[in-house]
Amino acid sequence: MAMATTEISFYHNLAQSALEQYDLSQKDCHFLGHSGNVTFRIEAQTGKFLLRIHQAISDAQSEIWQRADLIESELIWLDELHQKTKIAVQKPVKTRQDQWVTQVSVNQTVVNCSILEWIEGELLDSEPTSEQAYQLGFLMAQLHQHSQQWQPPQNFIRPSYDRTRLQAALSNLQSAIAQELISIEHFVRLGNAVAQIESRIPALLAQTPETWGLIHADLHSGNYLLHNEEFRPIDFALCGFGYYLYDVASALQYLSPTTRSNFFEGYQSLQNLPEHYLPITESFFIMAVLDVMAFHVSNPLEHEWLAETVKDVADHHIASYLEGKSFLFDRY
Protein backbone atom coordinates (compact mmCIF):
# COMPACT_ATOMS: atom_id res chain seq x y z
CA MET A 1 0.00 0.00 0.00
CA ALA A 2 1.38 3.42 -0.99
CA MET A 3 2.07 5.82 1.85
CA ALA A 4 2.18 9.62 1.80
CA THR A 5 5.58 11.27 2.18
CA THR A 6 4.57 12.78 5.51
CA GLU A 7 3.53 9.36 6.82
CA ILE A 8 6.81 7.79 5.72
CA SER A 9 8.65 10.64 7.45
CA PHE A 10 6.69 9.96 10.65
CA TYR A 11 7.62 6.27 10.63
CA HIS A 12 11.20 7.13 9.71
CA ASN A 13 11.42 9.18 12.91
CA LEU A 14 10.03 6.22 14.86
CA ALA A 15 12.63 3.99 13.22
CA GLN A 16 15.46 6.31 14.19
CA SER A 17 14.25 6.34 17.79
CA ALA A 18 14.11 2.54 17.82
CA LEU A 19 17.61 2.19 16.37
CA GLU A 20 19.04 4.12 19.31
CA GLN A 21 18.23 1.09 21.46
CA TYR A 22 20.52 -1.23 19.44
CA ASP A 23 24.28 -1.62 19.04
CA LEU A 24 24.28 -0.94 15.31
CA SER A 25 26.78 1.63 14.03
CA GLN A 26 26.53 3.83 10.90
CA LYS A 27 22.88 3.05 10.32
CA ASP A 28 21.23 3.80 6.96
CA CYS A 29 17.47 3.40 7.09
CA HIS A 30 15.43 2.59 3.95
CA PHE A 31 11.63 2.38 3.99
CA LEU A 32 10.29 -0.89 2.52
CA GLY A 33 6.52 -0.92 3.04
CA HIS A 34 3.50 -1.18 5.32
CA SER A 35 1.33 -4.26 5.69
CA GLY A 36 1.37 -6.33 8.86
CA ASN A 37 4.15 -4.03 10.05
CA VAL A 38 5.95 -0.94 8.84
CA THR A 39 9.33 -2.22 7.68
CA PHE A 40 12.74 -0.67 7.03
CA ARG A 41 15.97 -2.15 5.69
CA ILE A 42 18.86 -1.14 7.94
CA GLU A 43 22.43 -1.09 6.63
CA ALA A 44 25.11 -1.01 9.31
CA GLN A 45 28.79 -1.83 9.60
CA THR A 46 27.93 -5.27 10.95
CA GLY A 47 25.50 -6.15 8.18
CA LYS A 48 21.93 -5.65 6.99
CA PHE A 49 18.86 -5.88 9.18
CA LEU A 50 15.07 -5.65 9.01
CA LEU A 51 13.44 -3.18 11.41
CA ARG A 52 9.76 -3.79 12.08
CA ILE A 53 7.47 -1.14 13.56
CA HIS A 54 4.53 -3.16 14.80
CA GLN A 55 1.60 -1.16 13.55
CA ALA A 56 -0.71 -3.11 11.24
CA ILE A 57 -2.37 -1.67 8.16
CA SER A 58 -5.61 -3.47 9.07
CA ASP A 59 -7.49 -3.73 12.35
CA ALA A 60 -8.22 -7.40 11.73
CA GLN A 61 -4.99 -8.70 13.28
CA SER A 62 -3.82 -5.63 15.21
CA GLU A 63 -3.60 -7.41 18.57
CA ILE A 64 -1.47 -10.20 17.15
CA TRP A 65 0.94 -7.80 15.50
CA GLN A 66 1.20 -5.13 18.18
CA ARG A 67 1.27 -6.76 21.62
CA ALA A 68 4.80 -6.95 23.05
CA ASP A 69 4.37 -10.38 24.68
CA LEU A 70 3.09 -11.91 21.44
CA ILE A 71 5.90 -10.37 19.39
CA GLU A 72 8.47 -11.56 21.93
CA SER A 73 7.16 -15.11 21.68
CA GLU A 74 7.44 -15.03 17.88
CA LEU A 75 11.07 -13.94 18.23
CA ILE A 76 11.81 -16.61 20.84
CA TRP A 77 10.70 -19.28 18.36
CA LEU A 78 12.73 -17.70 15.55
CA ASP A 79 15.81 -17.64 17.77
CA GLU A 80 15.26 -21.29 18.68
CA LEU A 81 14.88 -22.25 15.00
CA HIS A 82 18.07 -20.33 14.19
CA GLN A 83 20.06 -22.03 16.95
CA LYS A 84 18.73 -25.59 16.84
CA THR A 85 17.82 -26.35 13.21
CA LYS A 86 19.28 -26.15 9.72
CA ILE A 87 16.35 -24.02 8.53
CA ALA A 88 17.58 -20.61 7.35
CA VAL A 89 15.51 -18.04 9.23
CA GLN A 90 15.99 -14.44 10.24
CA LYS A 91 17.82 -14.26 13.55
CA PRO A 92 16.22 -11.76 15.94
CA VAL A 93 18.41 -9.10 17.52
CA LYS A 94 18.20 -7.97 21.13
CA THR A 95 18.44 -4.39 22.34
CA ARG A 96 21.22 -2.99 24.52
CA GLN A 97 18.93 -3.82 27.46
CA ASP A 98 18.82 -7.49 26.37
CA GLN A 99 15.19 -7.22 25.23
CA TRP A 100 13.60 -8.73 22.11
CA VAL A 101 11.12 -5.85 21.78
CA THR A 102 11.58 -2.13 22.35
CA GLN A 103 9.00 0.63 22.70
CA VAL A 104 9.39 4.03 21.07
CA SER A 105 7.16 7.09 20.96
CA VAL A 106 6.84 10.09 18.67
CA ASN A 107 4.17 12.76 19.20
CA GLN A 108 2.47 10.67 21.91
CA THR A 109 2.30 7.60 19.65
CA VAL A 110 3.81 4.56 21.38
CA VAL A 111 4.62 1.47 19.32
CA ASN A 112 6.60 -1.75 19.70
CA CYS A 113 9.58 -2.38 17.44
CA SER A 114 11.89 -5.32 16.75
CA ILE A 115 14.89 -6.08 14.56
CA LEU A 116 15.81 -9.20 12.61
CA GLU A 117 18.97 -9.97 10.72
CA TRP A 118 18.49 -9.62 6.96
CA ILE A 119 18.20 -12.86 5.03
CA GLU A 120 19.15 -13.20 1.37
CA GLY A 121 16.81 -14.63 -1.22
CA GLU A 122 14.26 -13.79 -3.87
CA LEU A 123 10.50 -14.10 -4.06
CA LEU A 124 9.26 -16.48 -6.75
CA ASP A 125 8.04 -14.66 -9.86
CA SER A 126 5.77 -17.54 -10.90
CA GLU A 127 3.81 -20.39 -9.35
CA PRO A 128 5.98 -23.05 -7.67
CA THR A 129 6.89 -25.96 -9.92
CA SER A 130 6.20 -29.54 -8.87
CA GLU A 131 9.75 -29.85 -7.55
CA GLN A 132 9.46 -26.57 -5.65
CA ALA A 133 6.12 -27.62 -4.14
CA TYR A 134 7.88 -30.78 -2.93
CA GLN A 135 10.60 -28.62 -1.34
CA LEU A 136 7.99 -26.44 0.35
CA GLY A 137 6.29 -29.50 1.79
CA PHE A 138 9.64 -30.69 3.15
CA LEU A 139 10.29 -27.23 4.62
CA MET A 140 6.96 -27.28 6.46
CA ALA A 141 7.72 -30.77 7.75
CA GLN A 142 11.02 -29.46 9.14
CA LEU A 143 9.17 -26.71 11.01
CA HIS A 144 6.67 -29.20 12.41
CA GLN A 145 9.40 -31.63 13.41
CA HIS A 146 11.07 -28.91 15.46
CA SER A 147 7.75 -27.86 16.97
CA GLN A 148 7.08 -31.43 18.14
CA GLN A 149 10.48 -31.62 19.84
CA TRP A 150 10.59 -28.15 21.43
CA GLN A 151 8.95 -27.09 24.68
CA PRO A 152 8.24 -23.33 24.63
CA PRO A 153 9.02 -21.39 27.82
CA GLN A 154 6.27 -20.77 30.33
CA ASN A 155 5.72 -17.13 29.29
CA PHE A 156 5.34 -18.05 25.61
CA ILE A 157 2.02 -16.80 24.20
CA ARG A 158 0.71 -16.99 20.66
CA PRO A 159 -2.84 -17.20 19.22
CA SER A 160 -4.55 -20.51 18.54
CA TYR A 161 -6.08 -21.61 15.24
CA ASP A 162 -9.09 -23.29 16.77
CA ARG A 163 -12.89 -23.25 16.92
CA THR A 164 -12.92 -19.80 18.54
CA ARG A 165 -10.91 -18.35 15.68
CA LEU A 166 -13.14 -20.07 13.13
CA GLN A 167 -16.24 -18.56 14.72
CA ALA A 168 -14.57 -15.13 14.80
CA ALA A 169 -13.84 -15.40 11.08
CA LEU A 170 -17.47 -16.26 10.36
CA SER A 171 -18.62 -13.29 12.46
CA ASN A 172 -16.30 -10.93 10.56
CA LEU A 173 -17.62 -12.23 7.26
CA GLN A 174 -21.21 -11.71 8.44
CA SER A 175 -20.43 -8.00 8.83
CA ALA A 176 -19.62 -7.91 5.10
CA ILE A 177 -23.28 -8.60 4.23
CA ALA A 178 -24.23 -5.02 5.09
CA GLN A 179 -21.41 -3.82 2.82
CA GLU A 180 -22.89 -5.94 0.00
CA LEU A 181 -19.67 -7.91 -0.29
CA ILE A 182 -21.37 -11.20 0.55
CA SER A 183 -24.88 -12.31 -0.33
CA ILE A 184 -27.08 -13.86 2.34
CA GLU A 185 -27.22 -17.04 0.26
CA HIS A 186 -23.44 -17.34 0.19
CA PHE A 187 -23.11 -16.50 3.88
CA VAL A 188 -25.54 -19.28 4.76
CA ARG A 189 -23.34 -21.64 2.76
CA LEU A 190 -20.28 -20.43 4.68
CA GLY A 191 -22.09 -21.04 7.96
CA ASN A 192 -23.05 -24.56 6.91
CA ALA A 193 -19.41 -25.25 6.05
CA VAL A 194 -18.30 -24.01 9.47
CA ALA A 195 -20.81 -26.32 11.16
CA GLN A 196 -19.50 -29.27 9.14
CA ILE A 197 -15.87 -28.41 9.97
CA GLU A 198 -16.72 -28.25 13.67
CA SER A 199 -18.28 -31.70 13.58
CA ARG A 200 -15.81 -33.38 11.23
CA ILE A 201 -12.47 -32.40 12.80
CA PRO A 202 -13.06 -33.83 16.31
CA ALA A 203 -14.42 -37.02 14.77
CA LEU A 204 -11.35 -37.60 12.59
CA LEU A 205 -8.41 -36.00 14.41
CA ALA A 206 -7.52 -36.02 18.10
CA GLN A 207 -5.55 -33.10 19.53
CA THR A 208 -2.25 -34.69 20.59
CA PRO A 209 1.43 -33.64 20.58
CA GLU A 210 1.74 -35.47 17.25
CA THR A 211 -1.09 -33.51 15.59
CA TRP A 212 -1.08 -30.10 17.31
CA GLY A 213 1.68 -27.60 18.06
CA LEU A 214 3.36 -24.39 16.99
CA ILE A 215 2.80 -23.60 13.30
CA HIS A 216 3.80 -20.87 10.83
CA ALA A 217 0.17 -20.48 9.64
CA ASP A 218 0.97 -18.15 6.73
CA LEU A 219 3.37 -19.89 4.33
CA HIS A 220 2.33 -18.26 1.06
CA SER A 221 4.55 -17.08 -1.80
CA GLY A 222 5.23 -13.73 -0.13
CA ASN A 223 6.51 -15.44 2.99
CA TYR A 224 9.33 -17.58 1.68
CA LEU A 225 12.47 -16.74 -0.25
CA LEU A 226 14.49 -18.87 -2.67
CA HIS A 227 18.27 -18.73 -2.28
CA ASN A 228 20.64 -21.16 -4.02
CA GLU A 229 17.74 -23.57 -4.64
CA GLU A 230 16.83 -23.48 -0.92
CA PHE A 231 13.53 -22.15 0.42
CA ARG A 232 13.72 -19.91 3.46
CA PRO A 233 10.60 -19.11 5.50
CA ILE A 234 10.05 -15.51 6.57
CA ASP A 235 7.35 -13.49 8.34
CA PHE A 236 6.35 -15.56 11.34
CA ALA A 237 4.02 -12.77 12.52
CA LEU A 238 0.95 -15.03 12.39
CA CYS A 239 2.58 -18.07 13.95
CA GLY A 240 0.53 -19.75 16.64
CA PHE A 241 -0.77 -23.02 17.98
CA GLY A 242 -2.83 -25.22 15.73
CA TYR A 243 -3.14 -28.57 14.02
CA TYR A 244 -0.17 -29.33 11.79
CA LEU A 245 -2.62 -30.26 9.03
CA TYR A 246 -4.15 -26.79 9.31
CA ASP A 247 -0.71 -25.38 8.50
CA VAL A 248 -0.49 -27.74 5.52
CA ALA A 249 -3.95 -26.71 4.30
CA SER A 250 -3.17 -23.02 4.73
CA ALA A 251 -0.13 -23.39 2.45
CA LEU A 252 -2.01 -25.52 -0.09
CA GLN A 253 -4.54 -22.77 -0.78
CA TYR A 254 -1.74 -20.82 -2.49
CA LEU A 255 -0.59 -23.72 -4.67
CA SER A 256 -2.03 -24.93 -7.94
CA PRO A 257 -4.20 -28.07 -7.57
CA THR A 258 -1.70 -29.79 -9.89
CA THR A 259 1.21 -29.37 -7.44
CA ARG A 260 -0.58 -30.00 -4.13
CA SER A 261 0.20 -33.71 -4.29
CA ASN A 262 3.90 -32.80 -4.61
CA PHE A 263 3.65 -30.74 -1.43
CA PHE A 264 2.20 -33.77 0.38
CA GLU A 265 5.02 -35.95 -0.98
CA GLY A 266 7.67 -33.55 0.27
CA TYR A 267 6.01 -33.37 3.66
CA GLN A 268 5.70 -37.15 3.97
CA SER A 269 9.39 -37.61 3.17
CA LEU A 270 10.04 -36.34 6.72
CA GLN A 271 6.76 -36.39 8.66
CA ASN A 272 3.92 -38.89 8.77
CA LEU A 273 0.40 -37.84 7.87
CA PRO A 274 -2.51 -39.09 9.99
CA GLU A 275 -5.14 -41.50 8.79
CA HIS A 276 -7.91 -39.82 6.77
CA TYR A 277 -5.60 -36.85 6.19
CA LEU A 278 -7.27 -35.81 2.93
CA PRO A 279 -10.81 -35.07 4.25
CA ILE A 280 -9.24 -33.47 7.32
CA THR A 281 -7.02 -31.28 5.16
CA GLU A 282 -10.01 -30.22 3.06
CA SER A 283 -11.84 -29.15 6.22
CA PHE A 284 -8.82 -27.12 7.30
CA PHE A 285 -8.50 -25.75 3.75
CA ILE A 286 -11.98 -24.22 4.03
CA MET A 287 -11.16 -22.95 7.52
CA ALA A 288 -7.94 -21.30 6.28
CA VAL A 289 -9.67 -19.68 3.31
CA LEU A 290 -12.37 -18.27 5.61
CA ASP A 291 -9.67 -16.86 7.87
CA VAL A 292 -7.96 -15.08 4.97
CA MET A 293 -11.25 -13.66 3.67
CA ALA A 294 -12.25 -12.47 7.15
CA PHE A 295 -8.91 -10.71 7.49
CA HIS A 296 -9.69 -8.52 4.47
CA VAL A 297 -13.18 -7.41 5.55
CA SER A 298 -11.79 -4.33 7.31
CA ASN A 299 -9.55 -3.31 4.37
CA PRO A 300 -11.50 -1.37 1.67
CA LEU A 301 -8.64 -1.86 -0.78
CA GLU A 302 -9.36 -5.61 -0.78
CA HIS A 303 -13.15 -5.46 -1.02
CA GLU A 304 -13.32 -6.11 -4.75
CA TRP A 305 -11.10 -9.16 -4.35
CA LEU A 306 -13.13 -10.28 -1.33
CA ALA A 307 -16.48 -10.10 -3.13
CA GLU A 308 -15.16 -12.16 -6.05
CA THR A 309 -13.37 -14.69 -3.85
CA VAL A 310 -16.31 -15.34 -1.52
CA LYS A 311 -18.56 -16.11 -4.49
CA ASP A 312 -15.96 -18.36 -6.12
CA VAL A 313 -15.16 -20.26 -2.91
CA ALA A 314 -18.82 -20.67 -1.93
CA ASP A 315 -19.87 -21.86 -5.40
CA HIS A 316 -17.00 -24.30 -5.87
CA HIS A 317 -14.91 -25.46 -2.90
CA ILE A 318 -17.62 -25.12 -0.27
CA ALA A 319 -20.36 -26.48 -2.53
CA SER A 320 -18.28 -29.61 -3.12
CA TYR A 321 -17.37 -29.84 0.55
CA LEU A 322 -21.00 -29.74 1.67
CA GLU A 323 -21.88 -32.41 -0.87
CA GLY A 324 -19.15 -34.68 0.46
CA LYS A 325 -17.06 -34.42 -2.71
CA SER A 326 -13.28 -34.15 -2.61
CA PHE A 327 -12.06 -30.92 -4.23
CA LEU A 328 -8.42 -30.36 -3.24
CA PHE A 329 -6.96 -31.50 -6.57
CA ASP A 330 -9.72 -30.11 -8.82
CA ARG A 331 -9.23 -27.14 -11.12
CA TYR A 332 -12.11 -24.72 -11.55
pLDDT at 293 over 70: yes
Give the other-Cβ count within 10 Å of 195's Cβ.
12
Which segments of the chain belong to CATH 3.90.1200.10?
Answer: 130-322
Distance between CA atoms of 97 and 111, rounded to whole angstroms? Answer: 17
- State the pTM of this model: 0.94
Q: What is the pLDDT of residue 58?
A: 61
Mean pLDDT of 12-21: 91
- pLDDT tier at 27, thresholds 50, 70, 90: confident
Q: What pLDDT does residue 108 have?
A: 78
- C-alpha separations of 22 from 18, 108, 127, 138 in Å: 8, 22, 38, 35
Contact by Cβ (8 Å): 283, 200: yes
Please give the average per-residue pLDDT across 3-32, as a whole number.
86
Q: Where in the chain is the domain with CATH 3.30.200.20?
A: 5-117
User: What DSSP string runs through 78-92?
Assistant: HHHHHHHSS---PPE
Three-state secondary-structure class, residue 10: helix
Q: What is the pLDDT of residue 301?
A: 87
Percentage above 70 pLDDT, the chain:
96
201 contacts 277 by C-beta, under 8 angstroms: no
Mind giving me the DSSP string for 28-43?
A: EEEEEEESSSEEEEEE
Average pLDDT, the chain: 93
Task: Considering the domain delimited by 5-117, tell me its CATH architecture.
Answer: 2-Layer Sandwich (3.30)
> How many angstroms separate the Cα of 273 from the Cα of each of 15, 133, 245, 266, 278?
44, 17, 8, 11, 9
Q: Any idea which architecture 130-322 has in CATH?
A: Alpha-Beta Complex (3.90)
Confidence check: pLDDT of 138 > 60 = yes
pLDDT exceeds cutoff 70 at 1: no
288 pLDDT tier (thresholds 50, 70, 90)? very high
Ramachandran region, residue 177 (left: φ > 0; alpha: ψ -120 to 50; beta: rest): alpha
With a pLDDT cut of 90, the percent of the chain lying above it is 83
Whether the per-residue pLDDT at 2 is higher than 60: the answer is no
Contact of 286 with 314, CB cutoff 8 Å: no
pLDDT in tens, 248-275: 999 999 999 999 999 999 999 999 999 9
| Span 300-307, average pLDDT | 93
pLDDT at 107: 73
Question: Is residue 237 predicted with pLDDT exceeding 70?
Answer: yes
Q: How confident is the model at residue 280 (pLDDT cuts 50, 70, 90)?
A: very high
The pLDDT value given to residue 47: 92
pLDDT at residue 315 in the model: 96
Q: Please give the Cα distance from 322 to 32 (Å, whole number).
A: 43
Determine the pLDDT at residue 330.
Answer: 87
pLDDT of residue 229: 93
Instruction: Enumerate the β-bridge partners of residue 106.
Output: 109
pLDDT tens per residue across span 216-233:
999 999 999 999 999 999
What's the whole-number mean pLDDT along residues 82-95? 97
More confident residue, 59 or 283: 283
pLDDT of amino acid 62: 64
Torsion sign across C-alpha atoms 270, 75, 113, 161 = positive
